Structures are given as C-alpha cells and as structure tokens.
C-alpha cells in the first residue's frame, strides 16, 4: 500500500477483514504460536495472506499489531463489565445486555472508559475471548498479538482513553483451589512465599470455545459446558486438540460419562 511522500496511510478495518484476521489468530493461538512480545513471525505472514486472499486487501504487520491492540482493549473493558452482576452478552446483536439503565449508570460512574460500550457492537466476541482471556487471566505484561513497543497510527474508529495496568484475574479460583493446588501441604508450611492461585478459565471463555466448534449440537454443547466449567484440565485438553477433532472428543467424553 503506497501513499504520497510525507502522508500516512490509514487503514479502515471491515467486518470481513476482522473475521479473516481473527480466524488465523485463533488457530495459531491454539497452537501456542506466541513470542515473548506478540505473535511469532509466521503468524503475521499467515494473517496477511488470509486477509489478502479473502478480502483483496493488503495489510502489514503494523496494521495487525494496531488492530490487535483494539481487540485487547475490547476484551479488557467488556470482560470487566461481564464480571459484574446485572450484565450479560447479547450473542444475537453482538453487544452488552444489562438488567436496567440504573445498573449501567452505577457501573460507569467509576469506569469512565466503558461509557461508549453501552450500545457498542463488537463482533467476533467468541474469537476475541479465545485469544485474549489467557493473557489477562495469567496477568502477563505482554499482550497476545500486540507488541507494546509498536504503536501504529491506524484509524479504526475504536480509539479510547488509556487503560489501567492489567491485574491478575483470579475469577472463582477459590472454588477449585484444593483440587488444583500444585504445592503440597507440607511444602506450603515450610514456605514463606504466598501460595499461587491456580488458573481458572472464565465460563464465558469456555462457552465461546464450544460455540466455535462446527456442528456441535445444542444438547452436546450444554453437556460439555457442564463438565468443562468444573474441570480445568479437561478444558485445557480440549484446547490442545485441532478444531476438527474437538467435536468427536467431546462426544466420546459425554458418552463415556453417561455409561
């Protein structure tokens, strides 16, 4: 993409381009293709090719980095809202749902950065959850798919105030601490260090991952959801499988447990 000398080129992202980009990022996220500060080089190349092939648009690594920062911002703000009582996600209309305007007004009093999200449409929420929830849950400083050292002047209509530093999301970790704690009781007594909290995947991420599995029936999805929210290891095992093997594995799991 070229431009007159001295002028910047601004890229406007379409829904089609977002879908093409996120399809590649989800696939490589599940394969663990992350570098220390972003994606591995071949992931950028695959994303550039997929957007070119499906949308006939030329993009660059900087374009991808900038767009990933937008996705990361969406996840940080929306997931924080969804963790509060009175909020949900409207999958049909791709936006927040809430019990009442009073619930929203009370929330934004202390969260000004969220004001524009009351009616904001954010498509591909399931893919965004899949990619970004792990980094936020682990409290990593490096963003998946976004390199902090780069800040491309992309214009996508989603600019917002600076976000506060990330904090570790413990979720409902206390519910499974006894089962998942890696440090033995004796070692814990000897240690003066605080006990590590086990990672717990938010239910919204588990649901999003199940909804991405092709042709998974509603009943099988609900059975699988009931198992995966109670067993972190099962969800980790699911996410290690290629997409085309996940449905078969879940059906075998459901059948085994029903016998």
How confident is the model over 80-102, as pLDDT tens digits? Answer: 999 999 999 999 999 999 999 99
pLDDT for 133 equals 78
Q: Which two tokens stand for residue 139?
A: 């409290």
pLDDT at residue 98, rounded to an integer: 93
Do 231 and 257 touch, CB atoms closer than 8 A?
no
**Beta strands 38-39; 34-35: pairing state:** antiparallel
Beta strands in 106-197 (DSSP E): none
Q: What is the pLDDT of residue 194?
A: 56
Question: What mean pLDDT comes out for the span 198-207?
Answer: 81
Using the 3D structure, point to which of 83, 114, 138 is the last residue of a domain.
138
What pLDDT score was predicted for residue 172? 40
Asked whether residue 129 falls in the same domain as residue 198, the answer is: no
State whether 109 and 186 are in the same domain.
no
Other Cβ atoms closer than 10 A to 182: 8
Its domain, for residue 179, covers 173-258
Q: Answer yes or no: do 129 and 27 share one domain.
A: yes
Tokens standing for residue 6? 């001295």
pLDDT of residue 36: 63
- In this structure, are 195 and 122 located in the same domain? no
pLDDT, tens digit (0-9, with 9 covering 90-100), for 93-130: 999 999 999 999 999 999 999 999 999 999 999 999 98
Structure-token pair, residue 11: 């890229």
Q: Smallest Cα–Cα separation from 94: which of 105, 108, 78? A: 78
Please calculate the CA angle 122-76-138 and round it to the nearest 5 degrees: 130
Q: Per mean pLDDT, which of 5-9, 53-57, 230-234 is the most reliable? A: 53-57
Residue 131 shares a structural domain with residue 205: no
Which of 15-24, 51-60, 147-156, 179-188 is predicted with the least confidence, judged by mean pLDDT? 147-156
- Of the chain, the percentage scoring pLDDT greater than 90 comes to 39
Does residue 201 form part of some domain? yes
Which letter does DSSP use for residue 141 in this model?
S
Same domain, 179 and 120: no
Q: Which two tokens stand for residue 198?
A: 């086990």
- On the question of pLDDT at 169 being above 60, the answer is no
**Apex 104 CA angle, 203 and 146, nearest 5:** 55
Two structure tokens written together for 243: 């997409």
Say whether both 60 and 114 belong to one domain. yes
Distance in angstroms (rounded) separating the CA atoms of residues 78 and 166: 14
Asked whether residue 14 carries a pLDDT value surpassing 60, the answer given is: yes
Mean pLDDT of the chain: 77
Output the DSSP codes for 183-247.
Answer: S-HHHHHH--SPPPPPP---HHHHHHHHHTSTT--HHHHHHHHHHHTT-HHHHHHHHHS-HHHHH
pLDDT attached to residue 106: 92
- pLDDT tier at 189 (50, 70, 90 boundaries)? low
Residue 221 has pLDDT above 60, yes or no: yes
Asked whether residue 68 is assigned to any structural domain, the reply reads yes
**Token pair recorded at residue 169:** 């999301």
Of residues 75, 83, 160, the one with CA closest to residue 122: 75
Flag whether 1 is in a domain.
no
Euclidean distance between CA atoms 133 and 235, whole angstroms? 14
Last residue of a domain, one of 113, 138, 163: 138
| pLDDT score, position 8 | 55
The answer to whether residue 163 is domain-embedded is no
Angle at which helices 61-82 and 15-30 cross, to 10°: 80
- Residue 99 and residue 179 in one domain: no
Percent of the chain with pLDDT over 70: 69
pLDDT band at 226 (very low <50, low <70, confident <90, very high): confident
Instruction: Specify the pTM.
Output: 0.53
Pair 40, 133 in one domain: yes
Going by DSSP bridges, is the β-strand pair 87-90/38-39 parallel, antiparallel, or unpaired?
Answer: unpaired
Residue with structure tokens 């809430």? 98
- Asked whether residue 168 is assigned to any structural domain, the reply reads no
pLDDT at 109: 92
Quick one: 119 and 208 in the same domain?
no
- Residue 149 domain-assigned? no
- Same domain? For 23 and 133 the reply is yes
The whole-angstrom separation of Cα 172 and Cα 178 is 13
Lowest mean pLDDT among 174-178, 189-193, 206-210, 220-224: 174-178
Residue 112 sits in the same domain as residue 195:
no
Confirm if 14 and 55 have CB atoms less than 8 A apart.
Answer: yes
- Which range has the worst mean pLDDT, 133-147, 157-171, 231-245? 157-171
Into how many domains does the chain fold? 2
């Amino acid at each position: 993409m070229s431009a007159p000398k001295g002028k910047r080129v601004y890229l406007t992202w379409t829904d089609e381009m977002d879908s093409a980009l996120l399809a590649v990022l989800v696939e490589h996220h599940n394969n663990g293709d992350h570098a220390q500060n972003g994606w591995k080089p071949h992931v950028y190349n695959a994303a550039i090719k997929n957007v070119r092939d499906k949308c006939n648009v030329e993009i660059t690594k900087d374009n991808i980095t900038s767009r990933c920062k937008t996705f990361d911002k969406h996840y940080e703000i929306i997931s924080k809202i969804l963790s509060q009582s009175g909020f949900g996600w409207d999958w049909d209309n791709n936006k927040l749902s809430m019990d009442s305007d009073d619930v929203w007004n009370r929330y934004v009093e202390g969260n000004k950065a969220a004001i524009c999200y009351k009616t904001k449409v954010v498509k591909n929420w399931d893919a965004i959850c899949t990619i970004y929830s792990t980094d936020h849950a682990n409290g990593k400083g490096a963003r998946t798919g976004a390199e902090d050292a780069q800040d491309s002047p992309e214009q996508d209509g989603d600019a917002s105030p600076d976000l506060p530093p990330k904090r570790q999301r413990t979720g409902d970790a206390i519910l499974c601490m006894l089962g998942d704690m890696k440090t033995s009781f004796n070692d814990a007594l000897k240690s003066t260090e605080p006990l590590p909290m086990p990672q717990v995947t938010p239910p919204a991420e588990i649901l999003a991952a199940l909804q991405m599995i092709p042709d998974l029936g509603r009943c099988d999805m609900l059975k699988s959801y009931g198992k995966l929210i109670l067993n972190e290891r099962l969800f980790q095992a699911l996410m290690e499988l290629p997409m085309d093997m996940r449905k078969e594995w879940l059906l075998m799991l459901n059948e085994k447990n029903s016998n």
